[in-house]
Structure 1
């Protein structure tokens, strides 16, 4: 992995400075520029393979930009110190996490590998104010033996997806009721996402007014066994009841 800093000099040999190289570039216009717009391919990212073999999913520039706004929508600010322990090959850590820190201009504390025993110690050590979670990470923390740092931290916001309702309240009771949980839901392949901004325990989120306006959608009835859409005799999908 290459580490770049937006400066004229690098703090150590592990980093590469960027501004000095930009200023030394030729001012001549490039020929044969690729035709890129907001809907063009940004990257192809491999899904986790939850419903089958892992596959490459297309992510366009628009989705990348929207993903980078996740932390800001959750209430994070440029002054925050954000702790990320998730693997960077996952969209949550790369686009929502690292991308979100870049979009905010916030400080990112990037852990090489998640450790339940070191989690709260790292939060205290680096003065972390925002943490990112996914799946059962919060349950792993709750099941781990207590450490003094779990009540001495300054974490005010936990943002992510996959937090089950049975651990939600227990997590807050043990690690601090001042922590705001922002539970979201989205898919690498999907074009929409949901965010629980009401702090109601359990729901995976809501679609706000601007979300519905910019990316209209409908929720459809489906078979929980086959995961196929339920259709009318005419073959049309059926809208789910609110």
Structure 2
């Protein structure tokens, strides 16, 4: 088991900061940071949280830091439902509904879908039923041959985009289950050799259903100052048409019936 000092040092290295960098950001001395990391000084809970804030440590891991120092956790982890987090649940639902007629969904830290709007439903019409059994994983839904993968024209681009995002996420907050998902779905693929994503927002997903193509790009929204682990780990994925033809589909009278059958 790691000490709180060892954990803080790991996070500092992960953020590529020197002890002086962290000390200046947290308004403490570099010597104090050194003493904390080496275990020669026992930091207060407030000092741990101050350093964690400057290191952008996720709330789940801040609890781990506190426990390592002998303090009680500060951040609750409640289920995202109408009883435990009713205000947040309603806010997410409103955001997703407001994005219609374009698809939008909310995912957790492991890319499991926790909520969608109605515009996404038609895209799932031809997905294998077992992939739609909760928890539905967005990465698996997109890359599995029984999911949306056969309908994605630029699958190599989408795979590279997901690889970039999940790699960055794991660098920020390592997670064994997300690592397993990465190894399952995003291992090196011959078609990906040399492929780089220059801009995430400029890389569309191009779907082909029947003879029609729909091009979409996505943006990601997170809660600004969450005090609950569940909210800290929720992201809203909003999809937009990237050309006039795709936009026309979503505003056409038959949009709700879904893309043409493959």
TM more than 0.5: no
Structure showing greater relative contact order (alpha-carbon pairs closer than 8 Å, 6 or more residues apart): 2
TM-score, normalised by the number of residues in structure 2 = 0.28
More strand by share: 1
